[in-house]
């Protein structure tokens, strides 16, 4: 117990060479992930190609993410929640609107690369408006918030907010996307980005707390937002068809099918048609009956 406590309270201080090695390794993973996502978006037959509408949606939501993240969130929401050291901040309550906007973007586009594109636009706008200490070297912070989410979308093979998605499936997809957005970035920030680029060091316990809290609570927020994000997406673009295959399998009735001209429209029409047919049959048989003794 004493050894574990000492280890948890010890500061992560790796040599510059070791930090450089991990930093280059993270860049390699990000570049490899971007390559997989680009191939899936451009060459795979599982997804339609990106359209001008998709690009505009991603750009607009990237701007909204930036407005909330660095203006509304940092300047208004975080102080109202008690600051950066409060319990509500630890629960990532300030990230709930951010995750909702992100899930709306996923529901609208539903193609590999959408998360990285939105988050990276947010990151670039923040760097342009508020400055960035290291330029391109800081891009790993933005990439690691989105690339793992897009790799998950690739792994799901078009089922994220797809035609066969159920509400439970959307919630689970949201949970996974939220965890992958918050957890890896928090760990890599404390373990490598801050020590290597900013000479800011954290303890192992702080790194663990940042990792699980960001991953878990971002996941819960994305899961909560998933079904509502689907409703917003369907309101914006009704032709998306999210969950339509499941609904069609349940009803198995085409509401747009043309009615059969020969079929009765209502039950009353069916009764009237039956009575008319019975009367016609009676009329045809009555002369033959009159000739009998």
Q: How do residues 37-87 score in pLDDT, each as one tens digit?
A: 999 999 888 888 999 999 999 999 999 999 998 888 888 888 888 887 888
Range in 166-170, 221-225, 271-275 the model is least confident about: 271-275
Note the pLDDT of residue 193. 93
Note the pLDDT of residue 204. 94
Over residues 105-112, mean pLDDT: 94
Banded pLDDT at 254 (limits 50, 70, 90): very low
The whole-chain average pLDDT of the chain stands at 84
User: Which of the two residues, 135 and 118, has the higher pLDDT score?
Assistant: 118
Q: What is the pTM of this model?
A: 0.79
Note the pLDDT of residue 57. 95
Range in 13-22, 39-48, 144-153, 179-188 the model is least confident about: 39-48
Summarised one tens digit per residue, pLDDT across range 158-170 is 899 988 889 999 9
Q: Which two tokens stand for residue 134?
A: 């290291």
User: Which of the two residues, 42 and 287, has the higher pLDDT score?
Assistant: 42
User: Which of the two residues, 281 and 95, has the higher pLDDT score?
Assistant: 95
Indicate if the pLDDT at residue 266 is higher than 60: no
Over residues 174-190, mean pLDDT: 95
Indicate if the pLDDT at residue 229 is higher than 70: yes
Banded pLDDT at 292 (limits 50, 70, 90): very low
Asked whether the beta carbons of 126 and 66 are under 8 A apart, the reply is yes
Over residues 261-275, mean pLDDT: 54
Banded pLDDT at 288 (limits 50, 70, 90): very low
Note the pLDDT of residue 77. 87
Note the pLDDT of residue 45. 87
Note the pLDDT of residue 243. 67
DSSP state letter for 49: P
Note the pLDDT of residue 274. 58
Note the pLDDT of residue 253. 44
Which residues, including other chains, have CB under 8 Å from residue 223's CB and lie 6 or more apart? 171, 172, 174, 175, 178
Indicate if the pLDDT at residue 291 is higher than 70: no
Note the pLDDT of residue 255. 45
- What is the percent of the chain where pLDDT is above 70? 81
């Amino acid at each position: 117990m004493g050894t574990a406590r000492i280890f948890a309270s010890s500061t992560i201080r790796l040599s510059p060479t070791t930090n450089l090695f991990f930093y280059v390794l993270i860049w390699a993973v990000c570049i490899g992930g971007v390559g997989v996502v680009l191939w899936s978006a451009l060459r795979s037959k599982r997804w339609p190609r990106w359209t001008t509408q998709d690009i505009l949606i991603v750009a607009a939501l990237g701007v909204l993410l930036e407005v909330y993240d660095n203006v509304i969130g940092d300047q208004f929401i975080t102080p109202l929640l008690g600051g950066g050291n409060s319990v509500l901040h630890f629960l990532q309550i300030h990230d709930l609107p951010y995750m909702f906007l992100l899930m709306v973007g996923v529901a609208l586009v539903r193609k590999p690369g959408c998360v990285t594109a939105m988050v990276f636009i947010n990151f670039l706008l923040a760097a342009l408006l508020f400055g960035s200490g290291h330029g391109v070297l800081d891009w790993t912070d933005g990439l690691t918030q989105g690339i793992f989410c897009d790799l998950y979308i690739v792994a799901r093979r078009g089922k994220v907010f797809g035609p066969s998605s159920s509400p439970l499936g959307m919630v689970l997809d949201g949970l996974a996307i939220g965890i992958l957005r918050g957890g890896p970035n928090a760990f890599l920030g404390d373990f490598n980005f801050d020590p290597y680029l900013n000479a800011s060091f954290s303890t192992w316990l702080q790194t663990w707390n940042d990792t699980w809290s960001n991953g878990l609570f971002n996941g819960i927020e994305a899961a909560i937002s998933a079904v509502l994000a689907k409703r917003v997406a369907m309101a914006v673009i009704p032709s998306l068809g999210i969950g339509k295959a499941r609904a069609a399998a349940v009803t198995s009735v085409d509401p747009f099918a043309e009615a059969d001209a020969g079929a009765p429209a209502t039950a009353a029409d069916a009764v009237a048609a039956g009575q008319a047919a019975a009367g016609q049959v009676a009329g045809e048989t009555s002369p033959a009956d009159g000739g009998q003794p």
